[in-house]
Amino acid sequence: MRIAVIGAGIGGLVAAAGLQADGHDVAVFEQRREPNPDGAGLTLFGNAFEALDLLGLGDVVRSVSSGAIASMRAGQRHPSGSWLVTVPRRAVASMRSVHRVDLHRALSGQLTAGTLHTGNAALVAADGTPRVTVGDRAEEFDLVVAADGIRSRNRAVLGLDTGLRYAGYTAWRGVTRHPVDLHSEAGETWGRGRLFGIVPLPDDRVYWFATLNAPAGTAFADEREEVRRRFAGWHDSIQECVAATPPEAVLRHDVHDLAKPLASFVRGRTVLLGDAAHAMTPNLGQGAGQGIEDAATLALLLRGARVGDLESALARYSTTRQKRTTRVLQRSRATGRVAQASSPLAVGVRNTALRLLPGAVMGALSARIQKWPKPSG
């Protein structure tokens, strides 16, 4: 089949590479002329690698990622550095971290030359007809995959948009310029209305992220200095990560997710994938993983299918992925509410509960989230 993919983010590239490897004629349209992602990191869990392996991409991603966190103590800490809860190592055994730039380059390298068309803002047909319009030119396909991110124009064109919800907090991200000694400890530190996360990268640098409860659109004159000020007095690893990051490398964005889960991921022969379909908060680290699951699910359902089989295959894709991603979106939102608690009473109750919670229970909850209900047959 001839398939168009709109958006060269992680989900779009995985879908394109997987579909192309299965023999489909794929064209990827990306509105940016230089489709390089921002200079931060991300984490992928076992469910993402199960999906990647089924597309023949698992080892490609492993080659640019690190599993170092599997040998470290991980969980949630108090700002003093004391541990609230430690998760069993088996809960993070499959977790790998990667720099977004490296991941994007590795996935792009799997595409046949000429597949990626940059500087092309593509729009779908409102009725789901498999047509892509770029400027004044319209091009026909058998299937269109819209993977154009959280603020997807195509989700709105299809009439499927439910709007975005501000989560109530803003987030900084950064990567240290040089290695930082983490003393074999990683994970998140939870305070009042703010948290700080630490993740080792393959080259021994550190990807870190921080959040702060704040009104939407809050501006800061110096982002790194604001992080330093907001987390002053927190344990040493946090101070060292911030100090080792160049000011220009500190990124910030307000956190949003979909206001409500979509009623459908499909209209006609056009499908939504990744953040365009189910943008969620980052609290479970599953944003990229769910997009990868989408891509693998779609590719598996299309294996051996003909154009005449598309209606049933796409209906199954929508039903399967709606159920799975709605559950993850809702759990991520709930986790965010707990993590971002700000009142002394709520924080006290949360921290006491974490200290009393067996790590094995946290591990079991994590394993449940990572269980991908892949399509069969």
Domain ranges of the chain: 2-165+257-369
Residue 337 pLDDT > 70 = yes
Contact 292, 10 (CB under 8 A): yes
Alpha helix positions (H), the chain: 10-21, 46-54, 58-62, 89-92, 100-108, 153-157, 223-230, 236-243, 275-278, 287-302, 310-339, 344-356, 359-369
Query: For 137, which DSSP code?
Result: E
Paired residues of 43 in beta bridges: 97
Q: What's the sign of the alpha-carbon dihedral 351, 196, 97, 176?
A: negative
CB-neighbour burial class of residue 347 (10 A; exposed 0-12, middle 13-18, buried 19+):
middle
Q: pLDDT averaged over the chain?
A: 95
Which residue, chain included where needed, has tokens 């089989």?
A: 309
Nearest alpha-carbon partner for 180 in 208, 139, 214, 152: 208
Least-confidence region, from 153-157, 224-228, 302-306: 302-306
Q: What angle do CA 371, 66, 52 make, to 5 degrees?
A: 40
Question: Global pTM?
Answer: 0.95
Q: What is the pLDDT of residues 124-134, one digit of tens each?
A: 999 999 999 99
Instruction: Name every residue whose Cβ is closer than 8 Å to that of residue 38 and which is 6 or more positions away in sequence.
Output: 100, 173, 251
User: 377 pLDDT band (50/70/90 cuts)?
Assistant: low
**Assigned architecture for domain 2-165+257-369:** 3-Layer(bba) Sandwich (3.50)
In percent, the amount of the chain with pLDDT more than 70 equals 98
**Confidence band of 57 (pLDDT split at 50, 70, 90):** very high
Q: What is the mean predicted confidence (pLDDT) over 33-40? A: 73
pLDDT 10s digits, 345-370: 999 999 999 999 998 888 888 888 88
Tokens linked to 115: 């597949």
